[in-house]
């Protein structure tokens, strides 16, 4: 027989180990409050989730193929119970990814705006230095303090007006580059994140359903998904039954009134 219970169990364990290695690489360094870290971890969980999902399915098949192996049955039961937490965890990823994505986008916009504003403030200070310099050496020293354009010996040997014009031309080029960067770096709106957020949300929901289909609560003979479906059907038909009973009672009251009037 090509497939055996012990062989499938080993393959399942290998898949679990592969998933654990992927998650461990994404966990460190721990930055629990960093939205970028949260997004990276969520992406790793979603992309790597097929490994434990397939491993769980193989483990349950192995337990069915080897019904008299207590180790396999205990292992399958334990993993099925852990799958309950996995299903709930992927549901929790839905709001987590949305909030982290919005926070990351806002942080990137703020960092971009701060960097451009800093460059503009430095450019303004450099222009003031050029305008107020009294000598070539004074201009060179002030530029060095602000990490401005570097002047060589040949530059410093020029007359001050010519040197100022040369530095001003360099600053004009820098101003043009900053202006182009500001135009190119428009703030990212939440709508731009919508396709990626929807893709990840659908993936999280699908994985939550997949784990729920293989998950069992302690002492339950049905999967978590079957329990949820049963609860939904009871609430649906129970409500319909109540509505039907109410309608029938109303009908009987109307008949009673009609008989009394007659």
Give CA–CA dist 81/83, Å, rounded. 5
Domain boundaries, the chain: 5-221, 229-262
Give CA–CA dist 198/127, Å, rounded. 48
- pTM attached to this predicted model: 0.69
pLDDT tens, residue by residue, 113-138: 888 999 999 999 999 999 988 898 98
What is the distance of C-alpha 241 from the center of its chain?
42
* 219 three-class SS: coil
pLDDT range class, residue 171, cuts 50, 70, 90 = very high
Sign of CA dihedral 140, 144, 149, 152: positive
pLDDT tens, residue by residue, 206-221: 999 999 999 999 888 8
Q: Which of 238, 210, 215 is nearest to 227 (CA)?
A: 215
């Amino acid at each position: 027989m090509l497939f055996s219970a012990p062989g499938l169990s080993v393959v399942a364990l290998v898949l679990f180990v592969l998933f654990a290695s992927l998650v461990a690489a994404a966990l460190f360094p721990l930055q629990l409050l960093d939205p970028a870290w949260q997004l990276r971890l969520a992406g790793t969980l979603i992309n790597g989730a097929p490994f434990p999902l397939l491993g769980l399915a193989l483990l349950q098949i192995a337990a069915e193929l080897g019904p008299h192996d207590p180790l396999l049955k205990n292992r399958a039961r334990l993993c099925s119970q852990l799958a309950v937490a996995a299903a709930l965890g992927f549901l929790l990823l839905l709001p987590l990814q949305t909030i982290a994505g919005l926070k990351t986008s806002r942080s990137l916009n703020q960092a971009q705006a701060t960097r451009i504003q800093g460059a503009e403030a430095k450019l303004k200070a450099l222009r003031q230095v050029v305008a107020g310099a009294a000598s070539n050496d004074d201009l060179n020293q002030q530029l060095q303090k602000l990490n401005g354009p570097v002047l060589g010996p040949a530059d410093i040997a020029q007359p001050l007006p010519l040197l100022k014009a040369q530095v001003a031309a360099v600053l004009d080029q820098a101003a043009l580059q900053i202006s182009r960067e500001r135009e190119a770096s428009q703030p990212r709106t939440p709508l731009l994140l919508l396709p990626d957020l929807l893709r990840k949300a659908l993936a999280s929901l699908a994985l939550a359903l997949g784990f729920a289909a293989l998950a069992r609560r302690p002492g339950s003979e049905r999967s978590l998904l079957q329990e949820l479906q049963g609860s939904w059907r009871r609430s649906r038909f129970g409500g319909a039954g109540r509505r039907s009973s109410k309608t029938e009672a109303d009908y009987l009251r109307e008949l009673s009134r009609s008989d009394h009037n007659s």
